[in-house]
């Protein structure tokens, strides 16, 4: 969610196209193309879950910068209409502020967010209330063709009551199992300038990686004749994606949105494509419901109160693909070879971490590359911790 951080003039052109688009259900927020400005960016979504709530503060950044700067040493407070205050403190992650106590946004309560930055600037949100949301009735996976690609679609069904918001934001957290295509029983141990072959006692064959969603995923059922949302695709995974290779799990969270919040996220989605809320491809300014005490100062962000619903699903590769179908893997290909003419070359490569010891060279193998005294293999072919952790998550089941 940055201003003027694009590598393509086409992105700027999107602003003019979008300005001509109207939404029959929700009036879009106005926005305008700006030159770079150092603006505060606020991510504040408070839920009805009793938990440590989170607010993220960063700054827009210029095209040549690679990452947004965190807004540190700010004072962040959420206040409800009874006068109760919830203070936030800055965590070990700069720019991420966590509530000092666990709390949940309650029904029939009004909340406001206030931010005071270290340079003396103040920001306050419009009053916001919690709107009821639909529950995820079902989260399931199906093999399907989606936008011309063969793969697995992760879909949700939700049934909406008359009082539930017809607008929703989705986030997911996917976890997948990684199995190294090769296992090494021995490894090289270094002691000063000396080395020896010793048994490999490290568990590096089976690993797990967890990745959060980055794109903006929203649904709108206000124009549907029925109250239900059916087969809404939250995530599609191409068959060639190695995250499918073994066992896969996804946790999907659904957040209720007000029409105004939906309009804000919809505008961001149209501008930033499939990028995140903080996507560097956003070429313009999008106003939200947070304003600065200084009327001439702009701020980017939306203070949202959401009802939540979540579900998790697991599946294996062969739940959807036949045994004779090509299975993707991490990495795509591996090669065992014998570098150099003496031990200096393979030992140097092993020290550098690019390869691992595989075996001493025995009788030549037809087609084998190199004539050195030791066989080696790329590290990522035997050590799955290159891609994840060798500790299974607490929720993982086989």
Pairing of strands 299-306, 40-47: parallel
In this structure, what token pair is assigned to residue 160? 């909406």
| CB 244, CB 317: distance < 8 Å | yes
Q: Across residues 161-174, what is the average pLDDT?
A: 91
Whole-number average pLDDT of the chain: 86
Count of residues for the chain? Answer: 398
Inform me whether the pLDDT recorded for 66 exceeds 70. no
C-alpha pair distances (Å), 251 with each of 73, 299, 306, 317: 33, 32, 17, 18
Confidence of residue 63 (pLDDT cuts 50, 70, 90): low
Q: Kindly state the greatest CA–CA separation across the chain.
A: 81
Q: Residue holding tokens 């990686």?
A: 209
pLDDT (tens digit, 9 = 90+) per residue, 130-152? Answer: 989 989 999 999 999 988 899 99
| Residue (of 106, 124, 98) closest to 40 by Cα position | 124
Distances 365 to 43, 184, 262, 361, 379 between C-alpha atoms, Å: 58, 18, 62, 9, 21
């Amino acid at each position: 969610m940055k201003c003027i951080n694009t590598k393509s003039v086409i992105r700027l052109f999107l602003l003019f196209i979008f300005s001509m688009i109207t939404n029959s259900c929700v009036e879009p927020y106005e926005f305008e193309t700006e030159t770079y400005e150092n603006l505060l960016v606020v991510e504040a979504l408070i839920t009805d879950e009793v938990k440590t709530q989170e607010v993220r503060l960063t700054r827009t950044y210029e095209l040549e910068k690679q990452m947004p700067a965190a807004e540190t040493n700010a004072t962040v407070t959420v206040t409800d209409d009874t006068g109760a205050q919830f203070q936030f403190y800055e965590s070990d992650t700069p720019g991420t502020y966590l509530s000092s106590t666990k709390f949940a946004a309650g029904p029939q309560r009004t909340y406001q967010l206030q931010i005071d930055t270290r340079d003396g600037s103040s920001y306050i949100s419009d009053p916001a209330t919690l709107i009821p949301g639909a529950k995820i009735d079902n989260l399931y996976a199906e093999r399907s063709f989606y936008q011309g690609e063969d793969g697995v679609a992760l879909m949700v069904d939700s049934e909406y009551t008359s009082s539930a918001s017809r607008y929703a934001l989705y986030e997911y957290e996917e976890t997948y199992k990684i199995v190294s295509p090769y296992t090494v029983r021995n490894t090289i141990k270094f002691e000063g300038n000396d080395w020896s072959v010793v048994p490999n006692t490290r568990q590096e064959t089976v690993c797990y990686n967890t990745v959060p969603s980055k794109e903006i995923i929203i649904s709108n059922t206000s124009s549907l004749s029925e109250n239900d949302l059916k087969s809404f695709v939250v995530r599609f995974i191409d068959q060639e994606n190695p995250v499918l290779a073994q066992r896969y799990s996804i946790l999907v969270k659904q957040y209720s949105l007000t029409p105004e919040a939906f309009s804000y996220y919809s505008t961001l989605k149209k501008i930033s494509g499939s990028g995140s809320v903080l996507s560097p491809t956003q070429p313009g300014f999008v106003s939200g419901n947070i304003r600065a005490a200084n009327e001439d100062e702009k701020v980017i962000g939306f203070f949202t109160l959401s009802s939540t619903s979540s579900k998790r699903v697991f599946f294996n590769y062969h739940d959807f693909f036949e045994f004779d179908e090509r299975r993707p893997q991490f990495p795509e290909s591996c090669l065992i070879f014998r570098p150099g003419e003496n031990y200096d070359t393979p030992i140097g490569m092993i020290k550098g971490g690019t390869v691992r010891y595989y075996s001493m060279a025995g009788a030549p193998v037809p087609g084998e590359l190199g004539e050195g005294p030791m066989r080696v293999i790329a590290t990522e072919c035997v050590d799955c911790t290159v891609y994840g952790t060798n500790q299974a998550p607490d929720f993982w089941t086989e």
